[in-house]
Amino acid sequence: MYKHNYKIPWKDHRVIILIVSCLSCLNCFLHYSLLHGVLKGYTYFIIAIFRISILSLVFYYFCFKASKLIKKKKYKLNTLKFITILGVVCSASTGAYIDYYIIPYDLQGDGLLLCKTIFIMLEESVDIVITIIYIWVFYQIKKSIVSEERHGAI
């Protein structure tokens, strides 16, 4: 209703974040309520991909909105897009590696055993590294904005 009343286009970042969040909620509902135990291990990485995708989209949205205050706006936004895409691809490829190589060969197809191994931490570690990179980028942008304001005040 909000999108319709305010004539917000589908390409708006807020609408995309809302759609991805709704898909993530639907996926979590299906994952925890309808899937058989063994399938839960195979589809766990989809939850992690949605989580890092939503974090990335929200992070990019706020940096994009603050871009009017950033020095070298185009360069930093393109770098941010690259980091965002790279983060989601790394998370997805780690999850696919676990699903197609670890579970069938190391765990003999039992996805539930994944929670009892160190491999579950592989996916989480990738997400932690991506989040740390986002925090570093955030402080670089903040430093750029603060230093620009000081130059303008002098």
- Summarize pLDDT for 46-62 with one digit per residue, the tens: 888 888 889 888 888 88
Q: Answer yes or no: are the C-beta atoms of 27 and 46 closer than 8 Å.
A: yes
The 10s digit of each residue's pLDDT in 2-35 is 677 777 887 888 888 889 999 999 998 988 888 8
What is the pLDDT of the chain when averaged over all its residues? 80
pLDDT score of 154 more than 50: no
Residue 49 confidence (pLDDT): 85
Residue range 115-139, pLDDT digits in tens: 777 777 877 888 888 889 888 888 8
Range of the domain at 89: 2-153
Q: What is the pLDDT of residue 21?
A: 92
pLDDT score of 153 more than 50: no
What pTM did the predictor assign?
0.76
Q: Is 108 left (phi over 0), alpha (psi -120 to 50) or beta?
A: left
Residue-level pLDDT at 148: 64
- Residues 31/22, Cβ–Cβ less than 8 Å: no
pLDDT, residue 149, reads: 54
Q: What does the alpha-carbon distance between residue 84 and residue 88 come to, in Å, rounded to a whole number?
A: 6
Torsion of CA 47, 50, 52, 57, to 10 degrees: -170
